[in-house]
Amino acid sequence: MKFDDFDAKMRVFETAVDYCVLPGLYIVARLDGRHFTRLTKETHKFDVPFDSQFRDYMIETVTHLMNCGFRVHYGYTQSDEISLLFHFNEDTFNRKLRKYNSVLAAEASAKFSLLLGETGCFDCRISQLPTFDLVCDYFRWRQEDAHRNALNSHCYWILRKDGKSAKNATAHLFGMSVADKNELLFQYGINFNELPNWQKRGVGLYWETYEKPAMNPKLGAFVTATRKRIKYELDLPMKDEYFRFLLSISPG
């Protein structure tokens, strides 16, 4: 059998179930760290419940993903999670889902592992959203998840540091209201509202345009050049203000 015929015969087993994101849909990817609790709490012992170095590793990983060949418009990270909003007309890999999932997970895992000095793996899944309102709802959902997790984590670790076992700390928090958890922290001298916003709301990354002096070699004169760079925001707004923030950085 000729190689071209052989190649066509076998390649169909790879491509027969290829799914692509349809035109006219927004693509949002979500990546999660695999076994990161063990990696960050046992192996490397980052500060709990939040560690600024780990946060910076995640920011650098998101920055890498926004520069690795896809047109990523907005990145968001909280805890060991990353969300990416792609340009509306992104067509890399013909929008094949298996390519997005595999390449993004691989790029994130490689970058984070280099930063950490040890293997750190991510998985990836894709949301296909028909309207920008739903895109905004997605990111508000992930931010509200960050807020809830931050409150639970601070309560859990304050109890652990006070001598309770993992089982007892979990049982102590079971069924507690948000108000009761805030009161618990207050009893230990912690005002949840005064904690750094990046812990409660996550971190947003987006492209900003700036100007810089440059030399035009044809004219032999100094000119002002327009460039783009990634800016990260540690003090994201919440709720409706976050919605307006996402609209303000939207490409339209």
As a whole number of angstroms, the distance between CA 155 and CA 171 comes to 12
Q: Which of these, 131, 136, 135, 85, lies nearest to 241 by C-alpha position?
A: 136
Model pTM above 0.75: yes
Can you name the CATH fold of 10-248?
Alpha-Beta Plaits (3.30.70)
Domains of the chain by residue range:
10-248
Q: Would you say residue 18 has pLDDT above 90?
A: no
pLDDT digits (tens, 9 = 90+) for 120-142: 999 999 999 999 999 999 999 99
User: Per-residue pLDDT tens for 176-194?
Assistant: 999 999 999 999 999 999 9
Q: Give pLDDT, residue 16.
A: 67
Phi, psi of 36 (to 5 degrees): -75, -25
60-97: pLDDT as tens digits: 999 999 999 999 999 999 999 999 999 999 999 999 99
pLDDT at 251 exceeding the cut of 70: no
Exposed, middle or buried by CB within 10 Å (0-12, 13-18, 19+), for 166? exposed
